[in-house]
Structure 1
Amino acid sequence: MSFINWSDIYSVGDPTLDGHHQKLFDIVNQLHDELLGHHREEAVANTIKALLDYSHYHFAEEERVMKAVGFPEYEGHKAVHEMIIRKLQDYEHNKAAGDRESTGELYTFLLSDWLWKHILEMDKKMAPYILGHSHKPGN
């Protein structure tokens, strides 16, 4: 059973970004399985790196879309992306240093800060701009 499941409530109205979010859910579920299954530290480290790498890729694409549709909260949204990357980098560093206590903090961060606050609140604010942009002639 998955730790977190994708549903349409997370949709931002763009199939590419929604696909990215689904991929991020998959990586988070993999990380959860590895942490609970007491997988080798190397496997966990590789999955954390995959989460960080994919987050960089996704955020760059999301920022490109925000600019293209004229999203007025672009700067603040980009700053939150940078904060998320820093937190993931900190977790990656702490985990590499043998910190086992930060796992609970990671779950709280992933579920609360990222999924609830970021996707369901911040990313959802983009949906009207994305949908409005995709219906303009020439798009």
Structure 2
Amino acid sequence: MSFLKWSEKFSVGSNLLDTDHKRLFDLVQKLYTVSQDLDNQKQIVSVLVDLIDHTRAHFLHEETLMRRTAYPSFIHHKIEHDRLINQIEAFRKNLAAGQVGMAQERLAFLQTWLCEHISKIDKPLGRWLTKNNLQDDPI
């Protein structure tokens, strides 16, 4: 069952950022899949750690790009990134402590957050990068 699937409607117009976003979608989908068996806590934590690592790397890419291009909404964008990191770190800590009961609720949050963040926060960044001909600048 598909919980979260990438589509072109999520493209921000930057191959680099879109590739990162596709990987985030894949990891959230994988987390959903392994979370269907709550007794498999070790695998759930493993996928969640992969998601956290990729999310941190992606956010660093975006934030470096925003700083380098003097993106006007950088501070707001960074605050949104920090909020998500705090949420998924709390999820990881809960799982590590054996608290798996809220897994589905956290997954729904991740699904909504990712779709809304890309649609409302990252797309304006993509337009800014395109306007300034920076959409495929290496990070």
> TM-score under structure 2 normalisation?
0.89
Aligned 1:7-86 pairs, distance under 5 A: 7-38=7-38, 40-86=40-86
1:31–1:44 CA contact under 8 A, matched in 2? yes
Tell me which moved more, 54-63 or 4-13: 4-13
Deviation at 1:37, TM superposition (A): 4.0
CA offsets, 1:3-53, max 9 Å, x none?
A: 111111111111011000000111111111101145621111100000001
Task: Please tell me whether residue 123 in structure 1 is matched to residue 115 in structure 2.
Answer: no
Higher relative contact order (CA 8 A, sep 6+): 2
Tell me which moved more, 103-112 or 17-26: 103-112
Provide the rounded CA distance (Å) in 2 between the counterparts of 1:25 and 1:109.
Answer: 13
Extract unaligned runs of 5+ from structure 1.
Answer: none
Q: Which residue of 2 aligns with 1:132?
A: 131
Taking every aligned residue pair, what percent have the same amino acid on both sides?
29
Provide the rounded CA distance (Å) in 2 between the counterparts of 1:106 and 1:125.
Answer: 26
Q: Where in structure 1 do 4 or more consecutive aligned residues deviate above 3 Å?
A: none
